């Protein structure tokens, strides 16, 4: 993709995610933010490219591939496909998906290295020190046996020949750049942190390794391979042309979105690499790269006051949430609940509360009220028949509130203030709801509804019928503007509302005007068939379903999927819609190697009791031969706890532990589904089988 010369360009990136595990809600948050910015900027008329990708080199990948018993190339290909498939399923597909094993990326890394070396900023030396394989970082102050200060896991002592980058030469250039571009690092707390770090002095940086085999080779310098940050950071450039960046027209990046734990690499190392390369490009009289315009670091989502992390086993998978509540619910909760840049607490209770309170009772209920009255009192046709001077004071006051909030909402989007934008939009939703309650169009409609009301032929003014028509027209316009403004965050629901209001062009193609304007719905427009946007859910049941799904490992292309709404005329059906209704699916084929990874054993239930405040869950103590496992199973509605004691069951024993309603589960009991409601039926044996026997 090359930039359209008639449009302003905007290039943004997520981190290049490391392929040592499956994506969790923390990764999803960053990608949702990037997608929200992309949608907003496109509504503003920009040519936008969003890049994400996978970082596929390093010792962790070597070890993970060895553990899986497959070559590194096969391991990273599987992981990259899993990440790409998840983003596609969640409606977060990037414009550019870059893999650090791509040949174009290899070429760009080697090109950037030559520029830095020829500029005199690279030299060969030896390094001995502590290295954290989990964070892919040297720990400069650590001694042998010390733990990594970031993740708390043990460091390893490394001695090897490396190529070094003269980072020490860039202390003053970086500080000067930060001073000249105060917007470069955001939020302000991270800017202060980085300035303090650089002011403390910079040490030269190792950019190659010789003890790692799986990496991009340094040409003519085998066994040197590039160290992760010189490799991974360059992916942002590789995705939009690499050495041919000028022809593509998107570099430099307008914003890199990163987690606060990797801000130093992006705000110190990356601009220093680019400054060094530009020095050589100037000498060669070639187009310079320039530096990214902004780096935005967000906080962490915390669970029990700890960072969400695969190593800590406290990660939350996005798919179970989407399968129960829909993608818009997850997008809205993550962006509304936490101010971007700060840490936030994640809980299913708060998620479902937001869904019911803001989405179901707020926007969903408002859409239902307005559309139902238009159908009942206007035969489904919108009619605007009063001039502004004839409008009731309540209509004028509602219009003024929207007009006054419009610019602040846009300014908040521009400044990554998603929570504030949504707060203002939901105030407008509440104002529209209050407007209906005050004006009571249903009362007027009931008193004056003729047997065969033809709204297009209604009198222009002076009648109760005309007032009803106009009140509902203005309410529909308010709903339309709420949908427009909320679209970047909840695109699926707002596209559906847009179509229900009789719009045939996709909302994604709508261009935001400088000022909010009214009378944009053509008089005589017929609304679509009314359908629920956000049906209310039972909180306890929704949480139990999400937690139960988390026990079952699910690949993005498998298992229940969020329902896709019917497309309105002229529209493509959006992805990941709300609410979720699992369709009938054909399971994906797996190999015998995949199957043999599942460790299933015969277990015997030694005790069973109900989980407090969970109608469907039982806590079971199950003997699997060499140990007794605590397992939580969603079978309480079918099986009485005391009658399960002594029963033999099939147990999957090598699942990661998960918490269900605060109770840890170390395995899964296998069951089938029976009847229209899918009641669980425990799998068992006709013959006697010893406890602990493995299933083959």
pLDDT of residue 577: 40
Q: What confidence score (pLDDT) does residue 415 get? A: 95
Question: CA triplet 383, 386, 391: central angle to 5 degrees?
Answer: 120
Check residue 568 and give its pLDDT.
Answer: 34
Residues in the chain: 696
Distance from C-alpha of 418 to C-alpha of 173, rounded to nearest angstrom: 33
Question: Cβ-count burial of 401 within 10 angstroms (0-12 exposed, 13-18 middle, 19+ buried)?
Answer: middle
Query: 121, 276 in Cβ contact below 8 A?
Result: yes
In the chain, CATH 3.40.50.620 sits at 9-307
Three-class HEC string of 350-411: HHHHHHHHHHHHHHHHHHHHHHHHHHHHHCCEECCCCCHHHCCHHHHHHHHHHHHHHHHHHH
3-class secondary-structure state, position 172: helix
Q: How many angstroms separate the Cα of 497 from the Cα of each of 123, 328, 573? A: 60, 13, 13
Strand partners, 186: 296
| Pair 123, 205: CB distance under 8 Å | no
> What 3-state DSSP class applies to 291?
coil
SS3 87: helix
Domain(s) of CATH 2.40.50.140: residues in the chain: 598-682
CATH number for the domain whose boundaries are 9-307: 3.40.50.620
Distance of CA 385 to the CA centre of its chain: 44
Give 359-385 pLDDT, tens digit per residue. 999 999 999 999 999 998 889 999 876
What's the rounded Cα separation, in Å, for the pair 74 and 64? 11
Classify residue 228 as left (phi > 0), alpha (psi -120 to 50) or beta: alpha
Rounded Cα–Cα distance for residues 5 and 249 (Å)? 9
Burial level of 548, CB count in 10 A (0-12/13-18/19+)? buried
The CATH class of 343-526 is: mainly alpha
Q: How many CA atoms lie within 13 A of 128 on its CB side?
A: 2
Say what the pTM is: 0.77
User: Nearest-5° angle of CA 401, CA 405, CA 410?
Assistant: 155
Bridge partners for 136 per DSSP: none
Spatial contact of 484 and 491, defined as CB atoms under 8 Å apart:
no
What is the rounded CA–CA span in Å between residue 695 and residue 369? 56
What residues are paired with 99 via a beta bridge? 54
Q: Which three-class secondary structure state does DSSP give residue 113?
A: helix
pLDDT tens for 579-603 read: 443 333 344 567 776 777 888 999 9
Q: Where are the beta strands (DSSP E) in 563-688?
A: 600-610, 618-623, 628-633, 648-652, 658-660, 663-665, 668-669, 671-674, 679-682
Short-list 628, 622, 627, CA closest to 669: 622
Q: How many CB atoms lie within 10 A of CB 60?
A: 19
- CATH 1.10.730.10, the chain: domain bounds: 343-526
> Which class in CATH covers the domain with range 598-682?
mainly beta
Which residue ranges in the chain fall short of pLDDT 50? 448-462, 557-587
The secondary structure of residue 217, as a DSSP letter, is B
Query: Whole-angstrom Cα distance, residue 630 to residue 651?
Result: 11
């Amino acid at each position: 993709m090359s930039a359209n010369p008639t449009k302003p360009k905007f290039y943004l990136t997520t981190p290049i995610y490391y392929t040592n595990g499956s994506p969790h809600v923390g990764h999803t948050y960053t990608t949702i933010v990037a997608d929200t910015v992309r949608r907003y900027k496109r509504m503003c008329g920009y040519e936008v490219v969003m890049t994400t990708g996978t970082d596929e080199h390093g010792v962790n990948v070597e070890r993970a591939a060895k553990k899986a018993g497959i070559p590194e190339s096969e391991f990273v290909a599987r992981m990259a496909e899993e990440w790409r498939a998840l983003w596609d399923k969640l409606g977060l597909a990037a414009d550019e998906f870059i893999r650090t094993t791509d040949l174009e990326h290899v070429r760009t890394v080697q090109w950037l290295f030559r520029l830095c070396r020829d500029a005199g900023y690279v030299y060969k030396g030896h390094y001995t020190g502590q290295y954290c394989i989990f964070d892919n970082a040297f720990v400069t102050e650590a001694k042998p046996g010390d733990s990594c200060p970031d993740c708390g896991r043990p460091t390893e002592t490394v001695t090897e020949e490396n190529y070094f980058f003269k980072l020490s030469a860039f202390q003053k250039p970086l500080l000067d750049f930060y001073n000249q571009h105060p917007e470069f690092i955001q939020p302000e707390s991270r800017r202060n942190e980085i300035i303090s770090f650089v002011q403390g002095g910079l040490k030269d940086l190792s950019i190659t390794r010789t003890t790692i085999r799986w990496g991009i080779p340094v040409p003519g310098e085998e066994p040197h391979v590039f160290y992760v940050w010189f490799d991974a950071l360059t992916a942002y450039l590789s995705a939009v042309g690499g050495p041919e960046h000028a022809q593509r027209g998107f570099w430099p990046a307008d914003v890199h979105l990163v987690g606060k734990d990797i801000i130093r690499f992006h705000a110190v190392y990356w601009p220093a690499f680019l400054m060094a390369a530009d020095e050589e490009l100037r000498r060669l009289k070639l187009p310079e790269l320039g530096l990214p315009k902004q780096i935005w670091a967000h906080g962490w989502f915390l669970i029990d006051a700890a960072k969400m992390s695969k190593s800590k086993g406290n990660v939350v998978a996005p798919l179970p949430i989407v399968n129960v509540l829909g993608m818009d619910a997850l997008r809205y909760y993550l962006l509304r609940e936490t101010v971007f840049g700060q840490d936030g607490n994640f809980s299913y209770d708060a998620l479902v509360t937001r869904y019911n309170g803001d989405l179901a009772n707020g926007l969903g209920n408002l859409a239902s009220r307005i559309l139902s009255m238009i159908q009942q009192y206007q035969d489904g046709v919108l009619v605007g028949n009063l001039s502004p001077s004839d409008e009731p004071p309540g209509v004028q006051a509602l219009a003024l509130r929207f007009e006054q909030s419009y610019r602040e909402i846009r300014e908040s989007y521009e400044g990554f203030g998603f929570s504030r934008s949504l707060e203002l939009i939901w105030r407008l939703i509440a104002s529209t709801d209050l407007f209906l309650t005050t004006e009571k169009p249903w009362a007027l409609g009931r008193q004056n509804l003729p047997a065969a009301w033809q709204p297009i032929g209604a009198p222009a003014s002076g009648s109760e019928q005309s007032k009803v028509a106009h009140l509902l027209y203005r309410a529909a316009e308010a709903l339309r503007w709420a949908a427009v403004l909320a679209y970047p965050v909840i695109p699926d629901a707002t596209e559906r509302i847009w179509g229900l209001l009789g719009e045939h062009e996709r909302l994604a193609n709508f261009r935001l005007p400088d000022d909010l304007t009214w009378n944009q719905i053509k008089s005589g427009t017929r609304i679509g068939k009314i359908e629920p946007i956000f049906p209310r859910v039972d909180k306890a049941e929704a949480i139990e379903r999400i937690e139960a799904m988390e026990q079952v490992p699910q690949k993005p292309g498998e298992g229940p999927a969020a329902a896709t709404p019917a497309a309105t005329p002229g529209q493509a059906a959006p992805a990941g819609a709300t609410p979720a209704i699992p369709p009938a699916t054909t399971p994906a084929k797996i190999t015998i190697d995949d199957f043999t990874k599942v460790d299933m054993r015969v277990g015997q239930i030694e005790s069973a009791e109900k989980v407090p405040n969970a109608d469907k869950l039982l806590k079971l103590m199950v003997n699997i031969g060499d140990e007794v496992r605590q397992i939580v199973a969603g079978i309480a509605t079918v099986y009485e706890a005391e009658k399960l004691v002594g029963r033999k069951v099939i147990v999957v024993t090598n699942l990661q532990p998960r918490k269900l309603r605060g109770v840890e589960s170390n395995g899964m009991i296998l069951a089938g589904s029976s009847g229209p409601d899918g009641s669980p039926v425990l799998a068992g044996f006709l013959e006697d089988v010893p406890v602990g026997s493995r299933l083959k």
